[in-house]
Structure 1
């Protein structure tokens, strides 16, 4: 038995090593493969557009029961109108992505390709999706538990939460991320810069650390103030104050099991996120503080802050923009006005994250440009 356990542990270790190697290889060569991936996404989605144009089932924006509808700007559209546009744009995108994978030279054509690429990235990540992405991020642990333990209540399973209209928006969002990465890499190659870091040999090092820190502080201030209306109204409802809503609406919310608790949880999570956002400009965002005795004084990996902050910034913007065309969600001001500040929140958090990343990045491993990363001096760790 001990020999079998040892072989199993060795197999798991080998699998973990292979998975880490594959993940690192994908991350290391992202400027190369993202162009092909964006082209493949566009080609497949364009083919689906042709299928829907021909009358195929499964058009993800068709009018459905309100319980299974999304808040996308395309929700409720007719397949005979939108599906041909999807087909044309998808096939054009496949050609554009293929051209982007070729040798890049300055000129009018590369400029047009970059404009198309960024338009596709913005449209797919920020305009077409709705609040699905931020809900997926906020309730990811619950969704994982539901997948194994079942969904409580009257819902039949995880499919009643991630139905096709929502799942399609997740796919569209991921396609937009591929287009953003492919366009960024191509744009850097056109400029003659490193596709990984964007630096050019002899082109200077950009804004100083002090300048980036100043920009980051203003951006963090915006990111912390923007969600305050949402947090204040939801906490007030939980405490029994009908702030911005009628008494009848508050009684309806109080009579719906779990609704007040969900609102309070989102408000608290937003406030905690504001505290974590401050770490993008604070010393403890670069060096672990004393109270984390097991890591005190050590350098905080930049990805530990950049990755989650980027995800929240990208997913909170479409959730706010959705309210501009979803008039059904508009009632009294407290139901929709606080969400209109979410795009401002996402932009502020995005700018703060970029400033943090540029302040923390060191020498590029591919082109050798840049200075070694500078970390603020850490306080001495307490003795055990």
Structure 2
């Protein structure tokens, strides 16, 4: 991972410097682009983070360890924030709606790769400093590349499940409003016919097909997120259930649900919290009101929908983070040499 992170740092810096020198527009949000100075700063930070990852593989004195930890501690949040647009790009790609900015998508993917690598390197480095195995996190003698012992399948604790269920309720106002519009009803001062006409103007074939069945495509994407959430909470997310046919009874690769959960959960949580805070500030006049554009007919309708979106995205995102944290803890394998084999095994039964 440190070597991969160093390669990413050099590649990232090369791309950013090239874009800055060529004056390429790299979108970071609607109607806004990265300034060349920001791109050069990100390039320098990526190089610093890559160098810190390589330095962390050596035995360092205390000042060196502080420098490595500081570099990773500064770089990781920056590139995590840079993943913010990933869920939006995912929805547009899945629905065949087209990519608004190819360079913006490339930037988000580069940030995501960097954030993932830096997180893994930082976790491994922290474990080594504590004297634990950098691979499984447990203290044990011997190499860290032997066989792994996997725990038995289990569901999340009751407190975690209740927390996630409450967070999922944040989807109801947003999904309900969109479903009313899709079915032709009126909500927030918007007629269903107006919403359908505006949304179908640039909609792709799949989006139009789901809308004809009364299902908004973004609500359908949220349902996929709910399915992922349930898999993270229950045992069938660790062992393939009966309805998966040929895979039934096999252990689910640990990263199969964790990677999409982290990659979508963190950006959704940040975006949702931002919207949830922004809407009340607009309502009380701290921030300027949003000028309505069709099909919205009033600023209050836009503000309410922003709040609904914040509750939905924030609830789903935070729920994914909470569920993924529980799943990661419940499924963490340990090196067999750490003595974790006792009571830890790959379940042979099918939990259904």
Q: TM-score, normalised by structure 2?
A: 0.70
Does the 8 Å CA contact 1:70/1:130 hold for their aligned counterparts? no
- CA displacement at 1:134 relative to structure 2: 1.6
Measured in 2, the distance between the counterparts of 1:139 and 1:314 equals: 18
Per the alignment, in what secondary structure is the counterpart of residue 233 of structure 2? coil
**Equivalent pairs, count:** 314
- CA displacement at 1:124 relative to structure 2: 1.0
Measured in 2, the distance between the counterparts of 1:244 and 1:45 equals: 44
Range with greater deviation from structure 2 (367-376 or 163-172): 367-376
2:258 corresponding residue in structure 1: 306
Measured in 2, the distance between the counterparts of 1:297 and 1:42 equals: 40
Distance 1:301 1:216, change over 3 A: farther
1:233 equivalent to 2:233? Answer: no
1:285 equivalent to 2:237? Answer: yes
Does the 8 Å CA contact 1:223/1:274 hold for their aligned counterparts? no
Distance 1:286 1:52, change over 3 A: closer
2:284 corresponding residue in structure 1: none
1:221 corresponding residue in structure 2: 165
Instruction: Give the superposed CA RMSD.
Output: 4.1
Measured in 2, the distance between the counterparts of 1:245 and 1:43 equals: 51
2:320 corresponding residue in structure 1: 349
Does the 8 Å CA contact 2:10/2:50 hold for their aligned counterparts? yes
1:86 equivalent to 2:30? Answer: no
- CA displacement at 1:264 relative to structure 2: 0.7
Measured in 2, the distance between the counterparts of 1:48 and 1:272 equals: 33
2:8 corresponding residue in structure 1: 41
1:99 equivalent to 2:38? Answer: no
1:186 equivalent to 2:129? Answer: no
Displacement over 6 Å in runs of 4+: 324-330
Measured in 1, the distance between the counterparts of 2:326 and 2:338 equals: 21
1:22-47 Cα shifts (integer Å, max 9, x gaps):
xxxxxxxxxxxx22222233334445
Does the 8 Å CA contact 1:360/1:375 hold for their aligned counterparts? no
Measured in 2, the distance between the counterparts of 1:300 and 1:45 equals: 32
Q: TM-score, normalised by structure 1?
A: 0.65
- CA displacement at 1:305 relative to structure 2: 3.2
- CA displacement at 1:349 relative to structure 2: 1.2
1:121 corresponding residue in structure 2: 76
1:250 equivalent to 2:250? Answer: no
Does the 8 Å CA contact 2:239/2:251 hold for their aligned counterparts? yes
1:200 equivalent to 2:139? Answer: yes
Among 333, 337, 355, the residue aligned to 2:303: 333
2:87 corresponding residue in structure 1: 134
Does the 8 Å CA contact 1:360/1:373 hold for their aligned counterparts? no
1:39-61 Cα shifts (integer Å, max 9, x gaps):
233334445555666xx214444
Range with greater deviation from structure 2 (345-354 or 110-119): 110-119
1:261-286 Cα shifts (integer Å, max 9, x gaps):
57712212312432442232334334
Does the 8 Å CA contact 1:197/1:364 hold for their aligned counterparts? yes
